[in-house]
Amino acid sequence: MMSWETITLLFFAGLSAGFIDAIAGGGGLISVPALLWAGLPPQMALGTNKMQSTWGTLMAVRKYAKAGLVSWSQVRLTVCITFVSAMSGALVLMLISNAVLKMIVPWMLLGIAVYVLLSPGLGKTAAKARLSLGTFACLAGSVLGFYDGFFGPGTGTFWTMSCIALLGLELTRATAFTKVANLTSNMASLIIFVLSARVNYEVAGVMIAGQLIGGRLGAGMAIRHGAPFIRIIFISVVLTMVAKLLWDQFV
């Protein structure tokens, strides 16, 4: 039975992750450390994270699609490749022990946080398309789909950056494309986690409540204003949680 303090933390972690993920990606950098903090084993934490983040992402996709920012013909091939790659990543994750994951997860989180910190212009300006839609779907769908199925945090940021730099999409459409790709990889890897009994439904339920609110608010904010103001809060929260995980590991 979870304490009210844990329930409250998980609810607000889900809300914050959904809000940030809908705007700039990277909500898993908040939700995964929160799940580990709540005492879930790494594989269970990643599976539960997929369950709760799927609902927030679904809310964001609905909001972007309603605003006319999703081109379904443009994302179709990417969705197919991402789905298969994400399932592969989740299957590989099942082969890795919790002990190994417990050691590498904080360092992967820290690496992603540092990358975002050192890239102040990430996702702010559009660029000329460098790849065809088919090539982009094969490359990004395979690499980012596999990564999201295997680990996940920060995937949204990488998708947005790739859409802008390689497809030449402007920020709002790149973010909308990102949400569709994220939803695909979340659902694909979630199938593996559910079949492998790696989802804590009680914890997921608490975070889903926050995700639905955060995803809706975040997508609305992104459509209206963009995401620059999220950056400082995002990095501060991530680095704080990474510091705690590393403290728990070495002290």
Q: Is the pLDDT confidence value at 126 over 70?
A: no
What is the pTM for the complete model shown?
0.77
Share of the chain above pLDDT 70, in %: 78
**Tens-place pLDDT, residues 166-222:** 888 877 788 889 899 999 999 999 999 999 999 999 999 999 999 889 888 888 877
Q: Which residues contact 90 (CB under 8 A, 6 or more apart)?
A: 149, 150, 188, 189, 191, 192, 193
pLDDT at residue number 188: 95
pLDDT at residue number 76: 95
Mean pLDDT value of segment 127-144: 89
What is the span of the domain harbouring residue 54?
A: 4-250
The winner for highest mean pLDDT among 27-36, 123-132, 193-202 is: 193-202
Mean pLDDT value of segment 6-16: 91
Q: Which residues contact 71 (CB under 8 A, 6 or more apart)?
A: 173, 177
Q: Is the pLDDT confidence value at 123 over 60?
A: no
CB-CB neighbours of 139 under 10 Å: 15
Count up the domains in the chain and report the number: 1
**Tens-place pLDDT, residues 54-97:** 988 888 899 889 988 898 999 999 999 999 999 999 898 888 76
CB-CB neighbours of 35 under 10 Å: 27
Whether the Cβ atoms of residue 58 and residue 20 lie closer than 8 Å to each other: no
Q: Is the pLDDT confidence value at 226 over 70?
A: no
Between these two residues, 137 and 20, which has the higher pLDDT value?
A: 137
Start-to-end Cα distance in the chain: 27
